Amino acid sequence: MNEMDRMRWSCRRGLLELDLVLQRFLSEEYPLLDSKQKETFGRLLGIPDNDLLDLAMGRADTTDEAFGEIVQLMRK
Amino acid sequence: MSYPVRKFDAVIVGAGGAGLRAALQLSEAGCKVAVLSKVFPTRSHTVAAQGGVGAALANMGDDSWHWHMYDTVKGSDWLGDQDAIEFMCREAPKSVIELEHFGMPFDRNENGSVYQRPFGGHMQNFGAGPPSQRSCCAADRTGHAMLHTLYQRNVRSNTHFFVEWMALDLIRDESGQAVGVTAMEMETGDVVIFHSKAVLFATGGAGRVYASSTNAFINTGDGLGIVSRAGIPLEDMEFWQFHPTGVSGAGVLITEGVRGEGGYLLNKDGERFMERYAPNAKDLASRDVVARAMATEIKDGRGCGDESDHVLLKLDHLGEELIESKLPGIREIAKKFANVDPAKDPIPVVPTCHYMMGGIPTNYRGEVVSPAGDNKEAIVPGLFAAGECACASVHGANRLGTNSLTDLLVFGKSSGNSTVKFLKENASHKDLPRDAGELTRERLDRLNSQTNGESVAEVSAALRQTMQKNCGVFRFPELLENGVAEIKDVEQRVMRTEISDKSKVFNTARIEALELDNLIEVAMASLVSAEARTESRGAHDRADYAERDDQNWLKHSLWFKEGNRLDYKPVHMDPLTAETIEPKVRTY
């Protein structure tokens, strides 16, 4: 199974803003992640849309250190 | 070799607010229902709804469903069916209370009742005013809360969810009855026939037909494409709601508050062009005046950028401090989605598509209706639709704010009830036709074997540009004519799309090609319907026919894929119990 393809579909969301943020992340940041970071990103995608967008836009923060690193990359 | 078959009482396509609400009626009635969804249900586009649910609960002062009905009919510019509008407005308070009992975390008043906020276009006393506080909300996350509440309730009722499945085609038997759908499991690429006694579409909007749209990427009008390929028309597809200022190329909205605080629009010559269109109000003119002016500047070649396809929203003169204090969030949105810092540079903006008023024709019971012989509204047995993909028609030529959630709650439930009733009267499955699944097989075989074909991304972009340029917020005859010709070219290209990756597993390229098959039907229906309607009504605003023309156009458009032809049917002017609201000039 092509993990990138699965991930690409997991990045289809209910909010346009999130589609755009995740599309950029997937093409620019995701390929550079190590396997542990990729797994963390996969878990991050389990967060509900509005909460995830708040994280990506810097309107909220996460206490999870592993998430924090990925969130910083999403905010770039 | 035919596709494997799975049997359910009913199949619901789409798991946003309308699909989940309908599914609940079926599951709670003990029906075996399959809900197919491209994405996890709580990631449906309903999650983007912030405003609230319009319902005349009268928790904040006097209110009545009659007043809500009046506002909705007026908002629709008299194109809405008054029986359906009465039904929606009368049922809305019950639907909200019901949702509250399901556990929806509505904002509350001190006395514990549901808090309601004011919203544009909602008035007391049949439009006379004062404004009515009618919108029930859960902070700015009403859609989000609604999805979670309805999803949990469905889990409790044992609804069968098929997540990351894409419905492909409707199966009708020789009599025209809906007997199932074909659908693809994305993870495996396998196609299955869902054989059912009833099919209900709740696939949401199709805003992705425009280059600038607030809609999420999943909003590709799948239900509309599917039914149009199955011989059912699409209703009132010329009516699309726009917001004047979305970030060009992205679609993310820039609040109108920016102009309220002193921001203004510039064309490519650096001219503050609103001074010409509205010398007094300038950039604070009403939404339609601003949108019309922007569209005219772009059409006349005074747009900005390489493609001259947007204008600029300037706010750097307001100063960093005011931007931060009065317009929180705008700076980060502009930086993130327009790649500009508005404290230094203007934001590229363009009128942006937001909501589709048209859709699959239904009555107020959520039954799909289609012309047959002399009957313009013959019920298609076993077929139902609700929510944005359906046209009941409650929004007519323009939707009133908060009525999208009202629509999906009320008609999600009523279509669910109609389906339950149908299942009681039709206890056994009708046989699948011998060619069940053939259309899907032909489409997939064509896509897999195409050589020297067209790129899906390029054809999709051409489709969106054609719609954006020719069928936008303000419509010019030469552009509409041009748009119809262009979209026919695009259609030819859609029939020749090619994907380089033929693998079966999570092949997003294939999914996007199949989505494009649906987008083209929506785009064609919209352009052909818009070009033909020689009047201005609600969101259909023509430069060459500035007035509403009730004499000739107080009627619904029906576009048929076969023959690319139009038909029309009368608007229902008779409510169920209330008195007809007679057409008059619509001013706010």
What ipTM did this prediction achieve? 0.97
Which CATH number do you get for residue B336?
Answer: 3.90.700.10
Q: Are residues B444 and B351 in the same domain?
A: no
Task: Tell me the average pLDDT across A23-38.
Answer: 95
Rounded to an integer, what distance in angstroms lies between the CA atom of residue B508 and that of residue B313?
36
What does the pLDDT read at residue B2?
86
Q: HSE-up of B371 (CA within 13 Å, CB side)? A: 16
- Three-state SS string across B94-122, please? HHHHHHHHHCCCCCECCCCCECEEEEEEE
Q: Convert the pLDDT of each residue in B328-370 to its tens digit.
A: 889 999 999 999 999 999 999 999 999 999 999 999 999 999 9
What does the pLDDT read at residue B1?
56
If contacts are CB pairs under 8 Å, which of residues 54-73 in chain A contact chain B? 57-59
What tokens were used for B419?
């389906």
pTM: 0.97
Q: Convert the pLDDT of each residue in B227-276 to its tens digit.
A: 999 999 999 999 999 999 999 999 999 988 899 899 999 999 999 999 99
If contacts are CB pairs under 8 Å, which of residues 512-531 in chain B contact chain A? none
Q: Are residues B351 and B442 in the same domain?
A: no
Chain A contact for B505, CB < 8 A? yes
Distance of CA B499 to the CA centre of its chain: 28
What tokens were used for B37?
């969804």
Q: Phi and psi for B181 in degrees, rounded to 5? A: -140, 160
Would you call A29 exposed, middle or buried from its count of C-beta atoms within 10 A (0-12, 13-18, 19+)?
Answer: middle
Task: Tell me the average pLDDT across A9-29.
Answer: 96
Q: Do A50 and B144 touch (CB under 8 A)?
A: yes
What tokens were used for B62?
């006097």
Q: Which domain holds residue B446?
A: 438-547
Residue ranges of alpha helices (H) inside B44-184 are: 65-75, 82-102, 142-156
**Is residue B342 assigned to a domain?**
yes
Chain B residues with CB-CB distance to A9 below 8 A: 164, 186, 506, 508, 511
> b/e map of B27-65 (b: 16 or more CB within 10 Å)?
bbbebbbbbbbbbbbbbbbbbbbebbbbbbbbbbeebeb
Tell me which DSSP letter residue B155 carries. Answer: H
Tens digits of pLDDT across chain B (588 residues): 589 999 999 999 999 999 999 999 999 999 999 999 999 999 999 999 988 999 999 999 999 999 999 999 999 999 999 999 999 999 999 999 999 999 999 999 999 999 999 988 999 999 998 999 999 999 889 999 999 999 999 999 999 999 999 999 999 999 999 999 999 999 999 999 999 999 999 999 999 999 999 999 999 999 999 999 999 999 999 999 999 999 999 999 998 889 989 999 999 999 999 999 999 999 998 888 999 999 999 999 999 999 999 999 999 999 999 998 888 889 999 999 999 999 999 999 999 999 999 999 999 999 999 999 999 999 999 999 999 999 999 999 999 999 999 999 999 999 999 999 999 999 999 999 999 999 999 999 999 999 999 999 999 999 999 999 999 999 999 999 999 999 999 999 999 999 998 888 899 999 999 999 999 999 999 999 999 999 999 999 999 999 999 999 999 999 999 999 999 999 999 999 999 999 998 887
Determine how β-strand B160-163 pairs with β-strand B165-172.
unpaired
**Is residue B393 assigned to a domain?**
no
What residues contact residue B538 under an 8 Å CB cut-off, 6+ apart? B75, B76, B77, B79, B239, B357, B396, B397, B398, B586
Distance of CA B245 to the CA centre of its chain: 19
Q: Do A20 and B252 touch (CB under 8 A)?
A: yes
What does the pLDDT read at residue B549?
98
Would you call B111 exposed, middle or buried from its count of C-beta atoms within 10 A (0-12, 13-18, 19+)?
Answer: exposed
Rounded to an integer, what distance in angstroms lies between the CA atom of residue A27 and that of residue B349?
25
Chain B residues with CB-CB distance to A13 below 8 A: 39, 43, 47, 216-218
Q: Phi and psi for B117 in degrees, rounded to 5? A: -100, 155
Task: Tell me the average pLDDT across A33-59.
Answer: 95
Would you call A6 exposed, middle or buried from its count of C-beta atoms within 10 A (0-12, 13-18, 19+)?
Answer: middle
Q: Domain boundary residue among B327, B355, B383?
A: B355
**Is residue B457 assigned to a domain?**
yes
**Is residue B212 assigned to a domain?**
no
Q: Do B337 and A49 touch (CB under 8 A)?
A: no
Q: Phi and psi for B3 in degrees, rounded to 5? A: -75, 150
Element (H, E) at B166: strand B165-172
**Angle at CA of residue B241, ends B236 and B242, nearest 5°:** 145
H helix and E strand count, chain A: 5, 0
Residue of B147, B333, B505 lying closest to A1 (CB–CB): B505
What does the pLDDT read at residue B199?
98
Q: Domain boundary residue among B326, B355, B384?
A: B355
Q: Do A48 and B164 touch (CB under 8 A)?
A: no
What tokens were used for A43?
């878990």
Chain A residues with CB-CB distance to B332 below 8 A: 57-58
Q: Domain boundary residue among B355, B384, B419?
A: B355
Per the annotation, the verdict on B287 as an active-site residue is: yes
Identity of the amino acid at B312: L
Residue of A5, A14, A57 lying closest to B332 (CB–CB): A57
Q: Which CATH superfamily is domain A3-74 in?
A: Flavinator of succinate dehydrogenase (1.10.150.250)
**Residue ranges of domains in chain A:** 3-74
Rounded to an integer, what distance in angstroms lies between the CA atom of residue B318 and that of residue B118?
29
What does the pLDDT read at residue B357?
98
Domain count, chain B: 2
Phi-psi region of B211 (alpha: psi -120 to 50; beta: other; left: phi over 0): alpha
